[in-house]
Every structure is written in structure tokens, then in C-alpha cells.
Amino acid sequence: MRIGVPREIKDHEDRVGLVPSSVAELVRHGHEVQIELGAGQGSGLEDEQYVAAGATIVADVETLFATSELIVKVKEPLASERKRLSRGQVLFTYLHLAPDREQTVDLLKSGVTAIAYETVTSPSGGLPLLTPMSEIAGRLAPQVGAHYLERAQGGRGVLLGGVPGVPPAEVVVLGGGVSGTHAATIALGMGATVTVVDRSAEVLRRVAAQMPTARTIFSTHDAVSQILRRADLVIGAVLVPGAAAPKIVTRDMVKAMKSGSVIVDIAIDQGGCCETSHPTSHSHPVYSEEGVTHYCVTNMPGSVSRTSTFALNNATLPFALALADKGWKKAIADDVHLRNGLNVHDGRLTCRPVAEALDLPFSPLEALAA
């Protein structure tokens, strides 16, 4: 199979779909890999390393898209990239379609077969291709929040860890999943007072066992409203796989927060868990709403591109090999977990949460097979 890896063009997105060692593995399996010129430079990976691994460097992105059977990316294809996709191609990348009608409609029109990293599952019920980026985003969130709490950045002028005689910042983490757990761990390590909010008693027990110094609160509207009044930093880490993130934080809750406090909405890829959240970029990462600084960058892990690229490849390579070795039809027939990643095929939407979020027709896989 001929596999194409374009350079990412989203704002400050320096990750790359395949690293040289992954390319070498695919080549050993008899596949041809095309890398767009300079695609890996943002992650410290030079074209010469890809050539040594057996890849072909392609300067013209139009040629790369036109001649590749499988496109491996990191972030969702932007409008200019979507125009290059065609029926019969397979796209393997993060998609986050639930809050993005425009992208969804374009993919349906293209006829492409699109498999989303974020809805591929594991036997344990996890999301193995989303997990490494959730870990990184969670670990980034407290340090990003600490930066924007600085007075020079428009914040309250609060040091996250405090000092002897002066209390530390109050950090509230909404969601005790992968991102939330990592965010809480780092915030505690920085010396903050941390409260984790979740609607699952089982999750709260796990968090309490892992982090005895963290507070845990069962999520209700009133509980969230009260705890946010005391917060200096709120980290939104709520996830419903494939679906739009629920709006846990209302505008009224934000109005009641301290002036100069900070919200880092990790859930923004799926639309965000705050009513006042809207996507931002690394070039323009923050805005103020109701006196609260909002950081809603949709590709947070792109800021630590080398770490993120290698962590992502560790997770995606086995699935990329299966798609290339078997073809997408047999690969998803053999693996129910990869099958769960199929979001779009030949003009039909095959992910129910996305269809429900966007009020579009849903086509179950059984109908496609028939």
C-alpha cells in the first residue's frame, strides 16, 4: 500500500503522523511511504532520517494526496486538505467531528473512508489512541494555567503553589478521566490545593486512592457552582467518547468566579465543557470572558511536538500496520476496536454520537455490509 504523510498545517501544529522508526516498520512490511518535504522538522525529524528509513520525500502536497491510498495525519484535515481527499482513500487521524459540522459535511462529500483516532477503543474500554494526548494535555494544563494566573498575563497574580505563610491556589479539575487525573497529579506536584469533580463514584474512589491529598466532589450543578466560586484555576477535562462535550460550566457560574481566574478547557476539541468556551490557537491562545481568562487551544499537545509525536506513534503504529497489511475492510472486520474508529465511509456517517450531535443521518456498519 502507498501511504502518505503530509505536513500538518494547523496553527503551530508541529507534530507529524509517522516518525522514521514507524516508516521503517511499514517499509519492512512491503509498503511504500511518502513524506511531504519538511513534515517532521517541527518534531526535530529531518528528511534525511525519513529517507534512511526507506521513505520517499515528496515536495508537492497535491501529488502526495493524489497518489496515496492511506493518509496518516495528526490533526483533522483543514478545508484546503479536505478538497484533496477522494473516494476510495483512507484517512487515519484525529477528527473530533461532533462539534464540527463543516468538516463532517466535507468528508461525507469527498467519499473518503475516515477512521478517527479518538474513537478507536481497547478491550479494557479505554481509548488507546486518545490516551497519550490526553495525558500530555492534562500535564500541560496546570503549567499553562499557572502562567496565565500571573499578573503580567492578566491573571490574579497568584502563585500556584503559594509560599510558607501564603496559601496556594485553588485548582478545580472537572473530570477524573485520563486528562483530569494527570492534571490533578501535576497541580498537586506544583503545590496547589486540588479538587477533582466527577459524576462517577467509582472514579472518585480511584482518584482518592491515587491522590490522598486531593479533595473529591460528586458532580452536581450546585456542587460545581459552589466550588467554582473559590477556584483560581479550573481545568475542564470532561469527555464523552465521540460526542460533543457536555456544558458543565454555565455562563452564570463563570460570572461568579473570581476576577482574573483562569479556565483551561481541555475538552475544547469536542466543543468544550464551558458555555463561554470557544476554540483558540497557539498564536492567539486566550481571551477574557466575564473577567475570566479562557485558554481553549484545540491542539494543546502540539506545543510539545516531539514528545507528543513519539507518544502518538507508539499508540497508532499497530493500527496503521493493520490497515496497510490487510486493507481497511479486513482490518476493521478483524478488530472490533479499530472498527469503532470508523466515522465516515463513502458519503455515510458511521459514528452514532457524531450523528446525534450534528443531527445527521446515521448508517450502522451492518447497513454498509449489506
Q: Is the dihedral of CA 281, 119, 136, 239 positive or negative?
A: positive
Q: Is 269 a catalytic residue?
A: yes
Per the residue annotation, which of 14, 269, 294, 337 is the catalytic one? 269
Q: Is 96 a catalytic residue?
A: yes
Are the C-beta atoms of residues 40 and 52 closer than 8 Å to each other? no
Identify the burial level of 2 via C-beta atoms within 10 angstroms of its C-beta, where 0-12 means exposed, 13-18 middle and 19 or more buried: middle
Cα–Cα distances in Å, from 99 out to 68, 121, 272, 278, 343? 28, 20, 9, 11, 14
Q: Distance between CA atoms of 347 and 108, rounded to whole angstroms?
A: 4
DSSP string, 42-83: GGT--HHHHHHTT-EEES-HHHHHHH-SEEE-SSPPPHHHHT
Nearest to 181 by CA among 148, 204, 149, 147: 204
The angle that helices 201-210 and 178-189 make with each other, rounded to 10 degrees, is 30
Strand 286-289 to strand 292-295: parallel, antiparallel, or no bridges (unpaired)? antiparallel
C-alpha cell read off for 4: 502518505
Per the residue annotation, which of 96, 294, 337, 345 is the catalytic one? 96
Catalytic positions are 96, 269
